[in-house]
Amino acid sequence: MDILNALVAFLNFVFVPGLTYGAQLALGALGVTLIYGILRFSNFAHGDTMAFGTMVTILFTWWFQSMGISFGVLPTALLALPFGIAVTAALVLGTDRAVYRFYRKQKAAPTILVIVSMGVMFVMNGIVRLIIGVEDQNFADGGRFLISAGDFKKMTGLSEGLAIKGSQAVTVITAVVVVAFLFWFLQKTRTGKSMRAFSDNEDLALLSGINPDRVVQVTWILAAALATIAGVLYGLDKSFKPFTYFQLLLPIFAAAIVGGLGSPLGAIAGGFVIAFSEVMLTYAWKKVVTYLVPDSLAPDGLLQLMSTDYKFAVSFAILIIVLLFMPTGLFKGKSF
Partner 1 sequence: MSRNLFLFGGVAVLFLLTGLMASWNQSLYILNISLVFALMSLGVNMQWGYAGLFNTGVMGFAALGGLAVALTAAPPVAAAWQAGGLGVLGGLILGAAILGLAVVLYRRMAPGRSRTLALLVVLIGGFFLFRAVFDPAVTAVEAINPSVSGNLGGLGLPLLFAWPLGGLLAAAAAWAIGKTALGLRSDYLAIATLGIAEIVVAVMKNEDWLARGVKMVNLSERPWPVPFEVDLQRTAWFTDMAANWGFDPVTGSSIFVKLCYTALIAVVLVSIVFLSERALNSPWGRMMRAIRDNEISAAAMGKDVTRRHLHVFILGSAVIGVAGAIFVSMDGILNPGTYQPLRFTFLIWVMVIVGGSGNNWGAVLGALLIGWLYLIVEQVGPNIMGAITAGLPEGALKAHLVDSAQHMRLLTLGVILLLVLRFSPRGLLPEK
Contacts with partner 1 by CB under 8 A lie at: 41-42, 44, 99, 102, 109-112, 114-116, 118-127, 129-130, 133-134, 246-247, 249-250, 253-254, 257, 261, 305, 307, 309-310, 312-313, 315-316, 319-320, 323-324, 327, 334-336
Q: Rank residues 83 and 312 by Cβ distance to partner 1 and give the closer one.
A: 312
Check if the beta carbon of residue 280 is closer than 8 Å to that of residue 18.
Answer: yes
Q: Which is nearer to partner 1, 287 or 311 (CB)?
A: 311
> Three-class SS of residue 58?
helix
| Cβ atoms 88, 124 nearer than 8 A | no
Amino acid letter, 276? F
* DSSP state string for 146-168: EE-HHHHHHHH--SS---EEHHH
Q: How far is the CB of 118 from partner 1 (least distance, A)?
A: 6
Least CB distance from residue 230 to partner 1, whole Å? 18
Kindly tell me which of 152 and 220 has the beta carbon lying closer to partner 1.
220
One-letter-per-residue 3-state SS of 259-292: HCCCCHHHHHHHHHHHHHHHHHHHCECHHHHHHH
Closest approach, Cβ 312 to partner 1, in A, equals: 5
- Minimum gap (Å) between residue 224 Cβ and partner 1: 18
Through-space distance between the first and last CA atoms of the chain, rounded to whole angstroms: 53
- The distance of closest approach from Cβ of residue 138 to partner 1 in the complex, given in angstroms and rounded to an integer, is 18
Nearer to partner 1, 73 or 131 (CB): 131
Q: Given the complex with partner 1, which of 40 and 193 has the nearer CB atom? A: 40
What is the closest distance, in whole angstroms, from the C-beta atom of residue 4 to partner 1 in the complex? Answer: 28
| Identity at 24, one-letter amino acid code | Q
Alpha carbon 3 to chain centroid, angstroms: 33
CB 261 within 8 A of CB 36: yes
Nearer to partner 1, 125 or 277 (CB): 125
